[in-house]
Amino acid sequence: MVYRNTDPPCCSFCLRFLEKDPPEFRCDGCKLECYCSTACKDEARRLYHSSDGECAAFEAGIEAEAIDFEFGDVPERFLLRVLSQAGGWRTPGGPMVVGAGVDRVRMLQAHVPAPDTEERGRLAGISRNTLRLMDESVEDGVRVVDPSGDEPATTSRYGEAELTQLLCSVNCNAHTLYANDRSSLVPVGIAVYLQGSAFNHSCVPSAEFCNVGTSLTVRSLRRVQAGEEITVSYVPTTMNLKERRRCLEGQYKFVCACARCVAEDVS
């Protein structure tokens, strides 16, 4: 998902920098999403940005800003995108689809704060607000159907608890997106990659992630032996031990015990 008001503006679908500012092709509904072509606009509409679904929810978020509501890109708008793109949600009261990806995102590594903590309360509030923006019942949540199941289709729900878990998964696994231009170092958005989320961390990684546009590439940094685990660093490897520990514990809730951390801890 591309952030609001990137500078320079870039296509919400393919992440190319836009030649014209203001953009030529803007979503007529929410006016948030901008595109480089009608082809990108139509594809976004077809795949997730439906007029009664995500677009209407974005519009509701922007309208609510007039009454002191903060409709942030992260996590508020991104959560709606995950439910629409990975979940297949298209309209209030309409279902998400089991196996469409959203469950796989929810099952990724996540650190859900303990019940009755301030942080858990904050996330639960975001979940409830998300359901309100979607015009879904806060009590019942979003319906999830399994069309391949026995008739009638088996149904479950994504309510406050499920959305909170999803928020935590997204927080733990999100990647920064850069515009579809190899020289660009300007962060323009955020994405979660199911396969990219499988790599474990090391402070002496054997590979690194490289984002260009919506694609994620994993590039080896040295020769990798057959059968050796491929690792990446979740933090810049130029950080010292103290900085790495602070970042890793803060966002990913673990203390790294890789060879480099052990060696630097002793010295």
Which stretches of the chain bind Zn ion, using CB under 5 A? 11, 13-14, 27, 29-30, 36, 40, 55, 203, 256, 258, 261
Residue 14: CB minimum distance to Zn ion, A: 3
Cβ 210 to Zn ion, closest distance in Å?
21
Q: Is 7 strand, coil or helix?
A: coil
Minimal distance, residue 37 CB to Zn ion, in Å: 6
13 versus 158: smaller Cβ distance to Zn ion: 13
Q: What gap in Å lies between CA 232 and CA 255, rounded to an integer?
A: 16
Distances (CA, A) of 188 to 95, 181, 236, 239, 245: 30, 11, 19, 24, 27
**Are 197 and 108 spatial neighbours (Cβ–Cβ below 8 Å)?**
yes
Residue 15 or 123: the one with the smaller Cβ distance to Zn ion is: 15
Question: Minimum CB separation from Zn ion for residue 177, in Å?
Answer: 13
Rounded to a whole number of angstroms, the minimum distance from the CB of residue 2 to Zn ion is 10
Cα(233)–Cα(252) distance, rounded to whole angstroms? 12
Does residue 144 sit in helix, strand or coil? strand
Best CA proximity match to 31, nearest among 51, 17, 1: 51
